[in-house]
Each structure stands twice: as C-alpha cells, then as structure tokens.
A = this chain, B = another copy of it.
Amino acid sequence: MSDKPIHQDLSAQVLDRMFRQDGFSQWMGMEILEISEGHCVLRMTVRKEMLNGFDVAHGGITYSLADSAFAFACNSYNHLSLSVETSISHSRAVREGDILTAKADLITQTKKIGNFQVIVLNQHHEIVAVFKGICYRTDKKVVE
C-alpha cells in the first residue's frame, strides 16, 4: 500500500495525463524526475538537432524544458491552468551533450493566479537559465 499523500498521487495522475500525450516534450526527450503540488523537476540531454547557427542550444530548447516544468507544476493541483506570461534569461551557453535539469517551484499564488520560478541547471550544477511563469487557474479539472 502506498504511503504517499493523496495529493501527490493526484499530481502524478495529472502529469501522466499531460505528459503521455505531449508529443513535443517527448521529442525533446524530457524525463520526469519529481512531481508534487506546485513542484516539478524535468531532465533532458541536448542533441545536435537542437543547436542554432552558433553551435549552442537554440534558446527555444531551454525555454521549452522550463515551460514544460512550469506547465506540469501549474496543473499539479488539478485545476486546468493557462500560461499568462513567461520570461526567461539565458545566462550560460548550452552545448551538445549537456544534461539540463529544470526545477519548477511555486513562489506565490492567489485563488486565480500562480507565480512560478524555474531554475535550469547543467550537469555541472551551473545555472543556464532563470524562468518565471504566471498562470491563470480555470475552474476546470485536468483529470476527473
């Protein structure tokens, strides 16, 4: 019998519903390391086809990883949530073969609005990007 709190199980169900059918996150090669209410950790390895013309990862790669972690963390409460505004600062070049880990955490919330921070680290535990995401919570559920 599981000793996980029921909410964590629900977060896992939401994630399962979202991730299983998320073709782009799967193309990216994202793996789920952690999921719980207001929190998500994802990991991926940067491939050659993800590089831009300067031989570093396209900004869209790091953004996409962070945005997925944000989306899973937002919806982890089982309120269907919409991204309202996201921003990302890229602080260090990402190269082929780098292993990126994105950690999303809730910073503040009101009834309708959630404010998350996602820190993206490389395999040397250096911050490569800082992401902020704001979501709007609808009254719908992700899983019944």
Residues of A bordering B, CB below 8 Å: 17-25, 27-28, 48-55, 57-61, 63-65, 67-68, 71, 83-92, 107-110, 112-113, 115, 117, 127, 130, 132, 134, 136
Given A24-B57, A85-B89, A136-B136: 13 more A-B contacts, CB < 8 Å: A18-B52, A19-B53, A22-B51, A23-B51, A25-B52, A25-B53, A27-B49, A60-B64, A61-B64, A87-B132, A89-B115, A91-B115, A92-B110
A130 → chain B closest CB, angstroms: 5
Number of this chain's copies in the complex: 4
Can you name the residue of chain B whose Cβ is closest to the Cβ of A28? B60
Chain B residues with Cβ below 8 Å from A22 are: 51-53, 58
